[in-house]
Structures are given as structure tokens and as C-alpha cells.
């Protein structure tokens, strides 16, 4: 029988009360009928099976031998971006780990040879063979940095490693983000280097579809590499990479460096007076909290224990509630830009609505990914904003598609690009 490791979650599975909180933004944070839901999956597919609660029942059914792994079961378990919205709302009342369980089932399915989905295989093979999920050659990885004069950290020491990530490296639509970020940091006088073509995937896409072995390999390699470089900080612009470094890598090995999201550093520079915004940016903008930078961007609390009486954890477990993510830095940056008007959407911070691209959904369920993106774009439009701003390549690309699909006038802008514009560059 598969899923031995899920036995340790039996308490969670059995004690789920079907309260349905996992489907909704917390009531105290709900501001309208329209934007009250937090789970894209059940909001789109409607049947309870597509919610955390429903998936618990499916997993329980598998554990108890009531049902078997079928294509539909795989669809139900994989049509989820692993955004963690359910995890946040559940934990308000319960001592449970929905996100961990939704993740763990995928790992078990892959171990049992049932997963991931066929649509994921190409990306997974690409990671294994080319160190990136985009089936692009390693030799082109650093092309984005051709015009930037920066240290090759494999040859010359630096205090800070700028980690571009696969998407910012390879996708021409968003390479500008890495370029602008690196340029800004260099101009600020930071001692930065990049790995260039030696940079390899953070392996978050592998982990999200359950390919734990692949993930372990890459994570181990990355930690060893970063440690060996002796850097103080690893900066990344990609929320996905940031999330995996912060939330999962500590399980793999000791990290002798600090992980920093690009926006955190930019905010620091702002506070220290190192940013001179010369140009007004006359836009009304709203900020989208990427899942893996927000609720998924909290440092992980590693725990390996058991449940005892009354559901107590032994040893006691510290849980992630999603409230320690990177929320304020981007807001502070945007509010400091002259001429810019900042407005909030309703579902923000730990209740942010997922763009729809994560968790392998983009490749396996493109219509779902598009649907989720369009839903968020509607929410952005409802604020009256001219632009939706974020700092994650998956979000940016998916929102672009969502905007175009409905012929919307609202723009998708990466935060660094607005900062660059405000700096007059």
C-alpha cells in the first residue's frame, strides 16, 4: 500500500470537520460577496473534492482502501496550485497542516509510480537533463546578463549571489526583471556575482509535482554550491525560488547564508536613502502578493514528531500561519514612488488569491491557470487600478495572459520595472 508517510497525517485527515473554512477568506477579512473565496481549485471545479477538505477525504479513501488511484483521482489531487490559501484559513481554528498533506500525497504518488501527470514529465525531464524546466540549453542560461557587467562568482568571490532563477533567465518577456534588478543592486554598490550558466534550477517545480528525489538532488547541490561560495546573502527576484529556499531548503541542509527577496533589499535601500526617485509615475497600482513570497515565504519550522492525546504534537510544533511573509516591503516601495497612487485589493497578504500558475497547474491544467488569473485580474480592476504589480515571473506571465484573454486595459508590471522607471533610468 502506498502512502506510508501519510500515516503520520492520519490525525489531520480524520479530524477534519468539514467546516469549509479552507474554501474561504477568513470571515473577518472578507470585504465583499464577490471576492470572498480563497481556494481557486474548488472555486473553479465546484465539487468539494477540489478543496482541501475534499482532498483529505480522497486521501483518506486511498489510505483506507475505499478507492483506487485513477486518472480522476490524479486530476483532483493535481488540480491545485499548492497556494496555501487553505492552509492559512484552516490554521486559524485547527492545528493541522493541509498544505503539507496536499504536497505529501503527490510525493507518495510519484514514489508509487502513479504521478506526476503526463503534462509534467517534460518539465521534469528538462530539469534533470538541462537544469531548468524550460527545455533550454544550459549554455543560454546567462544570456540575460550579457549586457550587465557583473562578477562571475565561480571565478571571483563576492559577498552576495544574485540568483536569477530559470524563468527570469530564459523567458524573454521577463528577463528585463533580472536585468533591472541586477543593475539596480550593482549601481547601489553591492558586491554581487552570478553563477551564470552554472546556475541550476531551484527544483521547486519538481517538488511541487511530487518528484522529491529530483528536488533533493538539486536542493542539496544548490546548498553545497551556495555554502561553498561563502556568500553572506543569496538574493533572488523570483518568488518561487525565494519560497523554496526559505520554506523548504532548511530541511535539506544547513544554509550558511541569508536568503533575501529582491524587494526586501530594495526596501532596505529605500530606508537607507539610497534610492533617489527622480521621476513621477502617474499610475494607480495595486499589489499582488505572490503565494511563495507571502504565505509561502515564511521560514519553515522543521518538525518531525508525532501526535499524542488531544491532538497535541510531540515535540510541540510551531506552525506557519502565513503572516510572516514578505508583505510590507513591496507596499512601502510603491507608496514611496512619487505620483503613484497605491490601492489594495480585498484578498491580500496571507489571503492573497493565487495567480493560478503554480503547483504544476500551468502545464497540466492551462485553462484552470487562465481562469484563476482572470479572476485576480477582475479583482485588480475592481480597485480602479491602472496596473497590477507583482514580483514573481509565474504570476507576471500568467496575469499577462489573463489580461489579454479578456482584452483588458489594465497592465501587468513587475515591481522592479516601476522602480527603475521612477529612478529615471
Partner 1 sequence: MSLPKGAYQALEDVLGPENISDDPAITTAYSYMWLLYITHAQSGKYRPAAVVLPSSTEEVQAIIRIANRYGFNYIPVGSNLLPPTIPVRPDTVIIDPKRMNRILDIDEKNMYAVVEPYVSYAQLQAETHKVGLTITTPEAGSQVSVVANNMFQGMGGMAHKFGYNRGILGVDWVLPNGDLLKIGSRGVPNGGWFWGDCAGLNLKGLVRADTGHCGGLGMVTTMAVKLFSYPGPRVFPCEGANPNFVAKFPEDRFKIFLIDFPSKKKVGDAMYDIGQCEIGAAVHAEGANWILAADCASVEEFWKRWPDFQKKWKNILAVTIAGFSSARQVEYEEKVLMEIIKEHGGKLVDEELYKVGYNAMGEAFRTGLSNRLYRPAGDFFVMGGFGFDSLDHAIKSSEIFWPIIEDAYKRGLFVEDTTKSDWINSYQMGHFSEVEPIVYFEHDLKAGEAFLLGYIKTITDALAKKMHPSWPLGAMNYITGPAMCNYHELVLGLKKLLDPRMTSNPGYPLPETNPFAPPPEK
β-pair type (192-194, 160-163): parallel
Binding string, residues 30-69; x marks residues near partner 1 by CB under 8 A: xxxx--x---------xxxx-x-xxx-xx-xx--x-xx--
Distance of closest approach, residue 309 Cβ to partner 1, in angstroms = 7
Largest Cα–Cα distance in the chain? Answer: 65
- Interface with partner 1, residue 353, by CB under 8 A: no
Nearer to partner 1, 311 or 384 (CB): 311
Distance CA 122, CA 367 (A): 19
How many CA within 13 A on the CB side of residue 287?
Answer: 28
Distance of closest approach, residue 14 Cβ to partner 1, in angstroms = 5
List the one residue from 4, 5, 7, 15 that touches partner 1 (CB under 8 A). 15
Distance CA 118, CA 209 (A): 11
- Interface with partner 1, residue 332, by CB under 8 A: no
Distance CA 382, CA 162 (A): 36
User: What cell was used for 262?
Assistant: 529582491
User: What cell was used for 99?
Assistant: 498544505
- Give the closest residue to 343 by CA, choosing from 377, 384, 391: 384
List the one residue from 311, 338, 339, 384 that touches partner 1 (CB under 8 A). 311
- Interface with partner 1, residue 319, by CB under 8 A: yes
- Give the closest residue to 117 by CA, choosing from 78, 72, 80, 69: 78
List the one residue from 94, 106, 362, 376 that touches partner 1 (CB under 8 A). 94
- Interface with partner 1, residue 112, by CB under 8 A: no
Q: In what order do the strands lie in the sheet with 233-236?
A: 151-152, 192-194, 160-163, 233-236, 258-261
- Interface with partner 1, residue 100, by CB under 8 A: no
- Interface with partner 1, residue 24, by CB under 8 A: yes
List the one residue from 16, 364, 385, 388 that touches partner 1 (CB under 8 A). 16
Distance of closest approach, residue 347 Cβ to partner 1, in angstroms = 12
Q: How far apart are the first and last CA of the chain?
A: 60
- Interface with partner 1, residue 11, by CB under 8 A: yes
Provide the Cα torsion 128, 132, 137, 141; round to 10°.
Answer: -140
- Interface with partner 1, residue 399, by CB under 8 A: no
Give residues in contact with partner 1 (CB under 8 A): 11, 14-21, 23-33, 36, 46-49, 51, 53-55, 57-58, 60-61, 64, 66-67, 70, 72-73, 75-76, 88-89, 91-95, 309-313, 316-317, 319, 321-323, 349-350
Amino acid at each position: 500500500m502506498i502512502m506510508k508517510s501519510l500515516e503520520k497525517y492520519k490525525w489531520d485527515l480524520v479530524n477534519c470537520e468539514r467546516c469549509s473554512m479552507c474554501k474561504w477568506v477568513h470571515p473577518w477579512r472578507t470585504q465583499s460577496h464577490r471576492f470572498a473565496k480563497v481556494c481557486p481549485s474548488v472555486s473553479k471545479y465546484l465539487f468539494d473534492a477540489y478543496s482541501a477538505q475534499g482532498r483529505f477525504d480522497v486521501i483518506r479513501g486511498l489510505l483506507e482502501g475505499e478507492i483506487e488511484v485513477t486518472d480522476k483521482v490524479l486530476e483532483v489531487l493535481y488540480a491545485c496550485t499548492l497556494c496555501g490559501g487553505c492552509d492559512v484559513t484552516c490554521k486559524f481554528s485547527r492545528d493541522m497542516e493541509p498544505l503539507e498533506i496536499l504536497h505529501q500525497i503527490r510525493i507518495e504518488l510519484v514514489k508509487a509510480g502513479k504521478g506526476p501527470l503526463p503534462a509534467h514529465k517534460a518539465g521534469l525531464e528538462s530539469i534533470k537533463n538541462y537544469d531548468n524546466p524550460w527545455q533550454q540549453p544550459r549554455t543560454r542560461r546567462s544570456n540575460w546578463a550579457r549586457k550587465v557587467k557583473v562578477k562571475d562568482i565561480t571565478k571571483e568571490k563576492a559577498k552576495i549571489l544574485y540568483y536569477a532563477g530559470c524563468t527570469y533567465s530564459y523567458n524573454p518577456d521577463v528577463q528585463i526583471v533580472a536585468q533591472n534588478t541586477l543593475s539596480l543592486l550593482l549601481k547601489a554598490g553591492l558586491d554581487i556575482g552570478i553563477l551564470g550558466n552554472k546556475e541550476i534550477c531551484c527544483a521547486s517545480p519538481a517538488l511541487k509535482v511530487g518528484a522529491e528525489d529530483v528536488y533533493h538532488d538539486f536542493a542539496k547541490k544548490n546548498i553545497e554550491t551556495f555554502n561553498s561560495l561563502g556568500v553572506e546573502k543569496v538574493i533572488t527576484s523570483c518568488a518561487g525560488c525565494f519560497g523554496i529556499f526559505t520554506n523548504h531548503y532548511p530541511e535539506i541542509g544547513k544554509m550558511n547564508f541569508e536568503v533575501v527577496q529582491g524587494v526586501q533589499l530594495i526596501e532596505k535601500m529605500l530606508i537607507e536613502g539610497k534610492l533617489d526617485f527622480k521621476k513621477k509615475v502617474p499610475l494607480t497600482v495595486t499589489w499582488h502578493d505572490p503565494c511563495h513570497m507571502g504565505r509561502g515565504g515564511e521560514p519553515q519550522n522543521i518538525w518531525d514528531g508525532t501526535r499524542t492525546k488531544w491532538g497535541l504534537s510531540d515535540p510541540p510544533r510551531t506552525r506557519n500561519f502565513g503572516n510572516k511573509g514578505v508583505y510590507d516591503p513591496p507596499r512601502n516601495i510603491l507608496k514611496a514612488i512619487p505620483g503613484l497612487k497605491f490601492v489594495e485589493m480585498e484578498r491580500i497578504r496571507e489571503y492573497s488569491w493565487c495567480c493560478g500558475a503554480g503547483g504544476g497547474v500551468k502545464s497540466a491544467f492551462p485553462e484552470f491557470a487562465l481562469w484563476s488569473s482572470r479572476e485576480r485580474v477582475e479583482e485588480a480592476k475592481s480597485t480602479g487600478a491602472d496596473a497590477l504589480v507583482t514580483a514573481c515571473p509565474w504570476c507576471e506571465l500568467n496575469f499577462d495572459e489573463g489580461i489579454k484573454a479578456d482584452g483588458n486595459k489594465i497592465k501587468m508590471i513587475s515591481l522592479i520595472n516601476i522602480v527603475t522607471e521612477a529612478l529615471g533610468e
